[in-house]
Amino acid sequence: MSKKSGNSKGPSKIASTGRAGSGPKGKRSLNIKVKSAKGRKLSSTLWLQRQLNDPYVQRAKDEGYRSRAAFKLLEIDDQFKLIRPGMTVIDLGAAPGGWSQVAATRCKSETGTGHNKGEVIAIDISEMDDIPGVTTFHLDFMDDSAPDVLKAALRDGGADIVMSDMAAPATGHKQTDHLRIMGLAEAGLEFALEVLKPGGIYLAKVLQGGTENELLTMMKKNFEKTRHVKPDASRADSSELYVLAIGFKNAPANKDEE
C-alpha cells in the first residue's frame, strides 16, 4: 500500500445537453475509422474505433479530466446535487481519477477553507497519479485491510458520500460479469453502512440483470430514498446503471438482528 497524498423507480435518464444525433454540448458525432487493424483482434479494433468516435473521450481531453467517466458523475451530481463544499467523499475504484477530480472540485478539498474545505479519499488496485486535494491509496478494496485503512484516513471519523465505480475485468460471460460487479457494489454498500454520517449518500455502478433489485432492497432498509440512474455519458448500448441511495438513517434498528 502506498499513500499518495423513498422509493425505487425505473432508471432516471438525465437529459442530454446536446442536439439530437450529436455528442455532448451539441458537438457533432465523429466518424473516425481505424487506419489499420493489422495484428489486432476484431474486438480490439471495434473498441478502439468506438473510443476514437466517442465525443466524451475527446471532451475529457479538452477539459482536463482523466476519463470520460467524469461526465457520468457530473451529470448525476448536476441532477441530484449530491456533493457540496465541506463534504467528505470516499471514491472506491477511483483509477484513473475522473470521479475524484469531480469530487475534489465540488467539495472544495483543495481550494476551500474552514467548514467549506472538503475531503476526498480514493482507493484503487491500480496506481494513479496524484490529484490535488485527494488522498489516494494503492490497494485492492476487497483486501481485508482496506476498510480500516480508509476509516483511519477520515478527518472527522465519518463520510458524507461513498461512491463506487468499481468493476471487475470482463470475462465475456454476461451472468458472470453481472455477479462480479454486483458483489463489488454490495461490498461497497456494507462499507458505506459503517462509515456514512446520518443523511449520507451511496452511489454505485451495477449492470442490468435483476440482481440489482436485491441490492436496492438492502439499500431501502438503510436509506430514505433509492433509485436507478443512467446518465447520458453511459453508452446507450451498455447495460451499465448506477444505484443511488440518499438519506442514510444510521439507526441500529436497521441492522440485521444477530
Cis omega before residue 96 (within 30°)? yes
The residues facing 234 across adjacent strands are none
Q: What is the pLDDT of residue 28?
A: 46
Active site residue 151: no
Q: What is the pLDDT of residue 177?
A: 84
Rounded average pLDDT per 10-residue block, the chain, 258 residues: 45 40 47 53 49 67 86 97 98 97 98 96 96 97 97 94 91 83 95 97 87 81 94 83 94 48
Please, what are the domains in the chain? 66-254 (3.40.50.150)
DSSP-derived 3-state class of residue 180: helix
Residue of 27, 61, 81, 205 with catalytic role: 205
- Helices 98-107, 70-80: crossing angle, 10 deg rounding: 40
Provide the residue type at 55 as one letter. Answer: P
Q: What is the pLDDT of residue 144?
A: 97
Q: What is the pLDDT of residue 174?
A: 80
Contact 120, 49 (CB under 8 A): no
Q: What is the pLDDT of residue 168?
A: 84
Task: Give me the helices (H) in 64-173, please.
Answer: 70-80, 98-107, 146-153
- How many angstroms separate the most distant Cα atoms in the chain? 61
For the stretch 141-144, contacts whose Cβ atoms lie closer than 8 Å and that sit 24 or more positions apart, written own/partner, are 141/92, 141/93, 141/166, 141/184, 141/187, 141/188, 141/191, 142/184, 142/187
Q: What is the pLDDT of residue 126?
A: 95
C-alpha cell of 129?
Answer: 497519479
Q: How far is CA 132 from the centre of its chain?
A: 19
